Amino acid sequence: MSYALPDGGWDDLPEWNPLSVPLDRTQLSRIERAEPVLLPEDAARLRTLPSSTTSWDAWRELGERVFFDLPLRAEPALALALADPIQREALGIEADVDGALPGVVVFRSVEGRAEVGITCALCHTAREGDAIIAGRGRRTLDFGRIRLAALERRGPVEPRTTERYSSWGPGRADVLEHLSEVPIAIPDLWGMRRLRYFTQGGTLTHDSPLTLAIRQETQFIQANHLATRPPRSLVFALVIYLYSLTPPAHESDASPEVRATGALVFARECGRCHGDAVHSGDLVSIAEIGTHPELATGRARGTGRYRPSPLIDVRNAAPYFHHGVVPSLQVLLSRERFGADYRGVHDTGPIEGHAYGLDLTSDERDALIAHLETL
């Protein structure tokens, strides 16, 4: 453990709060012309708050800025992808109505250079019409192709590397930059305050805000190769902001009677594993759940178990499973074929495991889905 030691550990690392600005149309134009990005004169560091601050709103507002503006690391591969407007769209690098790219910043690196960097918002915002939804996993982001395209520009790429990055597909990423061994479906960030376990493998038990703060600080430190650490007031503010995230409101088209039936089916079929406040629950062994074991047995994050996925806004969370291979709730809950998709086969091989709800009648399945769409 290296966190908050009285002598040594991460506390010996220099605090890093770089000059940073969102990447705007002017900077994007420079990248398209193959010119280096420039840090404007009005670039500023995120302000910190004294630890004595008691205003929840003040911490949340600062945390929102951390989420969108504090660089996790430089991302040269992304900078290359930004140069082609057609490629940007294809790779899921989304712009807001003003042309800015949420999650992409220009910042001053430790070495003093102006560089393109990524923030939390790159993976955890999504465009819905004209709105940017903070907290929703960006299912369009094809980070594997972004990295592969950057490697290909440098020269021949080993077939194994090409196969690995090509297999990720949209909506999957691996936050461990130096390993890139197990890309997972980018998760939504709803209900984190009430979530008992963090990560799909359940590597951390969440018993206080400090758990999430330590996890977030770890990500920043590892992303910068153990060279710096972020100011802890910024990390704490980020935690408060993450705790505040909720999905947009939505309504179900199903009748109250159908939804009530679905709630009963859910309690019978799903409640044992998805029974807590965010419809997650205790960790389940891979022997019981039977889904793809690569994450649960991986050398970096393997616990031998999986966390039941939280089901808040599950209607918008497809594709499902930790590696994002089940395209819809209908497919998840049926052995039948739905167009080109069905439960037994997928383009990456057989879909096994999570053998729950597969034998429902069509009315029961429809009612269960109607209930799930209200969560």
pLDDT, one tens digit per residue, over 305-339 is 999 999 999 999 999 988 888 889 998 998 776 55
What sign has the CA pseudo-torsion 286, 287, 288, 291? positive
Residue type, 163: E
Q: What is the spatial distance between Cα 60 and Cα 62, in angstroms, rounded to a whole number?
A: 5
- pLDDT tens for 159-184 read 988 888 888 889 988 765 454 567 88
Of 349, 346, 347, 330, give the one whose Cα is nearest residue 338: 330
Between the alpha carbon of residue 245 and those of residues 23, 104, 173, 251, 342, the distances in Å are 24, 20, 21, 19, 33
Taking the complete model, does pTM exceed 0.95, yes or no? no
- Over residues 119-143, the mean pLDDT reads 94
CA–CA gap between residue 208 and residue 157 (Å, rounded): 44
Q: What is the DSSP letter of 320?
A: B
The lowest-confidence range among 38-52, 131-145, 148-162, 349-363 is 349-363
Per-residue pLDDT for 253 more than 90?
no
pLDDT at 338: 59
Question: What does the mean pLDDT of the chain come to?
Answer: 89
pLDDT in tens, 5-39: 777 788 889 999 999 999 988 899 999 999 999 99
Residue 344 has pLDDT above 70, yes or no: no
DSSP state, 100? -
For 90, the token pair is: 């294809």
CA dist 88 and 102 (Å) reads 13
pLDDT in tens, 84-112: 888 888 899 988 888 889 999 999 998 89
From the list 167, 201, 178, the residue with the least C-alpha distance to 298 is: 201
**How do the domains of the chain map onto residue ranges?**
16-189, 256-372
pLDDT, residue 176, reads 59
**CB of 204 within 8 A of CB of 197?**
yes
What lies within 8 Å, CB to CB, of 51 at 6+ separation is: 233
CATH superfamily label, 256-372: Cytochrome c-like domain (1.10.760.10)
